[in-house]
Structures are given as structure tokens and as C-alpha cells.
Amino acid sequence: EWKSHRVALKSTFPEGWSPPRKLSREAMDGLRDMHKLDPAKFSTPILADRFKISPEAVRRILKSKWEPPQEK
């Protein structure tokens, strides 16, 4: 299953994933919070339109669990 997914991603993004517009960490947190608040109202296409990024970028942001290390 993961092999077919990997092949599909390779065919969709032959040079790899490099979005033309990147969001700040605060914007990503806001996007996640909006989706967590009401997933039906703030679906992937709606968030993509509101933040002016691709639906694939929204999907990846929502899927990601990475947080920057807390520095003192």
C-alpha cells in the first residue's frame, strides 16, 4: 500500500515537494486550530482558499505533528 502511495506522489511531484508559498509557524498553528475547532466548516479546500495555498499543502500541515524544539 505504501509503495503505491509513494509512486503516486512521485508521479504528481516529479521534482519533489516544494510549495511556491510557505506559511509561518503561527499561520500553521492557526490553520490547525481552525480545523480542530470545526472540521466541517474549515475543510481542506476552504482552508486552502483562505490561506492562499494548495490543498496538498493544507493536507500536509494538518497531517504533520512536528513542533520546533522549545528553546529557553
pLDDT (tens digit per residue) in 2-18: 888 888 888 887 777 66
Q: Is 14 part of any domain?
A: no
Place of cell 475547532: 37
Q: Is 4 part of any domain?
A: no
- Please give the average per-residue pLDDT across 55-72, as a whole number: 86
How many structural domains is the chain composed of? 1
- Please give the average per-residue pLDDT across 51-61, as a whole number: 92
Instruction: Please give the residue range of the domain that contains residue 43.
Output: 22-66
Q: What pLDDT sits at residue 34?
A: 96
Q: What pLDDT sits at residue 37?
A: 96
Q: What pLDDT sits at residue 72?
A: 57
Distance CA 35, CA 45 (A): 11
Q: Is 36 part of any domain?
A: yes
Instruction: Output the pTM of the full model.
Output: 0.68
